[in-house]
Amino acid sequence: MRKVVGVFVVACLFGVLFGTAWAAEPIKIGYLATLTGEGATWGAHERDGALLAVEEINAAGGVLGRPLELVTYDVRGRAEDAINAARRLIEVDKVVAIGGTNYSGLNIAVGPIVEKGMVPQIGTFSTNPTVTVDPKTQKPRPYSFRICYTDPYQGKVMAEYFYNKLNVKKAAIIHDIGSEYSEGLKEYFIKTFKGLGGEIVGVEAFRSGDVDFRAQITNLKKSGAEGIALPLLYKEMALIIKQTAEMGWKPFFIGGDGYSPNMYEICGDAMEGSYWVYHLSPDDPILAPLKEKFKKRFNAEPTEIVNTVAAYDLIQWVADSIKRAGKAEGPAVRDAIESAKDLKLLHFTLTLDKATHNPLNKPAAILRQEKGALKFLETYQPQTEF
């Protein structure tokens, strides 16, 4: 296995065992997190959220009389690293479930690995439908799950909010042609917006790594677009918003869950008045206890609290599934994960749709950037069937 280990970075191996109090062997849960490069801020917060959950569960007596042990690998946002890490988690570490990643492309790549190894994987923000449903058979991938809503759902919310709430009738879109996330979200935004009667007046593309978007912005400004949809990750969205303002144009902006509070450091007040479809409001009072635990445990502010919450709840879901399964074995835990119903988690009550392996009717939060901070406006569920 020495050759395999060299392909990826082993970020951390947390065995939260509290001395010699445990007579039983730990139950290992794997976690795939991007801790290096772009997206590292999300991955680090997910790792820490998962660790908080493991520590709390162990302090309360563990599961089935055994402690949980979290085994985390840095996948660096790369499919090959995620594949190798998943194999090691299954074949060497002998985990019974895997959390992460928050990237659709990585989870799609890992899907065959977890299915072959019969170890369930739950993605945090891997929103592409094909993460959990095989597009050829239209059947759920047996060992792939998610705790978030999907791109069709998110794209519908973005399009409906633009058209119905902000009265944007001419929209444009900038997308990353190398990203499954971006392409999927773009597709569902366009389909819904056109179905409502709106006009897509411009579609501009780029490839990951680009930092100058002035040519695309110039074309969209000429198109007469009233608003721009950004199905992207935070760095590109921040640069686009900043460069648009520098060019003297102020259209409506709406983006999805690629948002990060770190965007403000890049584009500052140019973000004012932008709208964001998110999984929950970072300022929801229900999150206050977890924020305090995070600050006490890591001596830092949880700037990506949404990622922390998702990972924290994911581990709670896995622990509940192990308990209901009555044994720490991949296939049995998979069955229990799939049968989750009315499971009270921190940020919502989970019932899983067995046909899609998606949470049922998970609401989206609509947020607006105001005075340097996100302001929660309302929860929203799409109304269209487009």
* 151-278+364-380 has the same fold as 2-149+284-355: yes
Q: Over pLDDT 70: what percentage of the chain?
A: 94
Nearest-angstrom CA–CA distance, 299 and 234: 25
Nearest-angstrom CA–CA distance, 32 and 87: 11
AA letter at 225: A
Question: Is it the case that residue 12 has pLDDT exceeding 80?
Answer: no
User: What homologous superfamily is domain 2-149+284-355 in, according to CATH?
Assistant: Response regulator (3.40.50.2300)
pLDDT digits (tens, 9 = 90+) for 50-94: 999 999 999 999 999 999 999 999 999 999 999 999 999 999 999
What pLDDT is attached to residue 3? 32
pLDDT digits (tens, 9 = 90+) for 214-257: 999 999 999 999 999 999 999 999 999 999 999 999 999 999 98
Q: Residue 69: which of 40, 100, 94 has the closest Cα?
A: 94
Q: Is 343 helix (H, G, I), strand (E, B) or coil?
A: strand
Q: What is the pTM of this model?
A: 0.81
Work out the number of other CB atoms within 10 angstroms of the CB of residue 232.
Answer: 26
Nearest-angstrom CA–CA distance, 292 and 285: 12
Give residue limits of the domains in the chain: 2-149+284-355, 151-278+364-380
For residues 293 and 127, which has the higher predicted lDDT (pLDDT)?
Answer: 293
What pLDDT is attached to residue 261? 83
User: What homologous superfamily is domain 151-278+364-380 in, according to CATH?
Assistant: Response regulator (3.40.50.2300)
